[in-house]
């Protein structure tokens, strides 16, 4: 997502290119008569993109298209704190726990020296970053490190529980699509 492009090592497509590229790929499945398509967003920045992609495809093809973001599958109660779920958007406890479970060799625990929560955490304003009335934002406006949330409470066991909940929910989604 474009909001992360200022960080070293980050490569990204802008939103327009991402939507067009995705449509070109998915349209090939539609033309081959696929009838059920599930678009899974694994990171918050593309939720609106999937909404647009879904509307465009639905208006052109006779398909069932379902869009989801695994952050929103479940409240992950008992695994991740409510504060972290609501205000830890990027590289916090949720995502770092996933990485510690799935790809622990890529996590550099010694680099977690600072973190920030979303400014929504302390704000009473109606305009926010991720509540109902949203303003556009770049990660660098919230966090110098790119981390939005607290990765220090992450562990592989939490990651394993998150993965299990996500897989369970994905199974339910697919079953509903076909039944």
118-130 pLDDT tens trace: 888 888 899 988 8
42 — pLDDT class (breaks 50, 70, 90): confident
Helix/strand/coil (H/E/C) assignment for every residue in the chain: CHHHCCCCCCCCCCHHHHHHHHHHHHHHHHHCCCCEEEEEECCHHHHHHHHHHHHHHHHHCCCEEEEEEHHHCCCCCCCCCHHHHHHCCECCHHHHHHHHHHCHHHCCHHHCCCCECCHHHCCCCCEECCCCEECCCCHHHHCCCCCECCHHHCCHHHHHHHHHHHHHHHHHHHHHHHC
Q: Is the pLDDT of residue 43 over 80?
A: no
Rounded to two decimals, the pTM is 0.85
């Amino acid at each position: 997502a474009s909001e992360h492009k200022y960080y070293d090592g980050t490569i990204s497509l802008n939103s327009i290119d991402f939507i067009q590229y995705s449509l070109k790929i998915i349209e090939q499945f539609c033309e081959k008569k696929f009838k059920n398509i599930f678009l899974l967003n694994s990171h918050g920045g593309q939720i609106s993109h999937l909404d647009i992609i879904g509307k465009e495809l639905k208006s052109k093809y006779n398909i069932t298209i379902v869009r989801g973001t695994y952050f929103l599958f479940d409240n992950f109660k008992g695994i991740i704190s409510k504060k972290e779920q609501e205000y830890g958007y990027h590289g916090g406890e949720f995502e770092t726990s996933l990485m510690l479970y799935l790809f622990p060799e890529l996590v550099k625990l010694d680099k977690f020296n600072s973190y920030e929560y979303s400014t929504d955490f302390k704000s009473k304003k109606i305009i926010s970053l991720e509540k109902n009335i949203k303003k556009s934002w770049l990660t660098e406006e919230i966090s110098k490190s790119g981390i939005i949330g607290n990765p220090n409470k992450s562990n592989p066991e939490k990651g394993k529980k998150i993965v299990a909940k996500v897989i369970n929910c994905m199974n339910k989604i697919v079953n509903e699509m076909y039944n």
